[in-house]
Amino acid sequence: MIRFAIAALALGLGALAAPAVAAEETPAGVLELRRNVGVWDTTTEFLAEDGSVARAVRGTYSFEWVVSDSVLRGVSEIPETKQKSAILFYYRAAKDEIEMVSVGADSVLWLMTGPGGGNARTTAPRPTQDGGTITLRFTTANVTAERFESRMEWSADEGQTWNPGNRQTMVRRQPAG
């Protein structure tokens, strides 16, 4: 059951990457949101327990402003698996943090939080059908203006140990012409 929940979540959650360059006068969280506006071609590799690639799928993530420098709305689409999710990122200036909300066709709402400009976001532990809990952690790496990588891990013991979930490569789609 945990593997299914992770697979479904992976298709609905992208990770927001840390900015490549930070300006002193603009908070890192705002720069992070600005960097992610646009359309991203994505390859998601679902990982087996040993970390090997069990399956890879391609899709897109797209983000646009709802409230400039504060709120982004987005859509994740993975045609091969017929998955589509709505995403909302918002920057909370008072705490210098970013929260992300994602919900797909399964109607499960996920919320993850991390510091503005940071490279990790986590969810709170949530109950599973088998009576346990699951916590997710998304970490970004190799961030540039045109590309970044994200790794999703899951924990059944509230973050004491982490298991491989997926890794994503996000490449900015270049405008046609």
Q: What is the pLDDT of residues 86-100, one digit of tens each?
A: 999 999 999 999 999
Q: What is the pLDDT of residues 23-68, one digit of tens each?
A: 468 999 999 899 999 999 999 999 999 999 999 999 999 999 999 9
- pTM of the predicted model over 0.75: yes
Model confidence at 18, pLDDT cuts 50, 70, 90, reads very low
Neighbours of 143 (CB within 10 A): 19
- In order of 11, 16, 77, 128, 136, the CA distances from 5 in angstroms are 10, 20, 17, 9, 11
* CA pair distance 166, 97, nearest whole angstrom: 24
Number of neighbouring beta carbons within 10 Å of residue 95 = 12
CATH class of the 2-172 domain in this structure = mainly beta
pLDDT score of 8 more than 70? no
In the numeric block, which tokens belong to residue 2? 């945990």
Domain ranges in the chain are 2-172
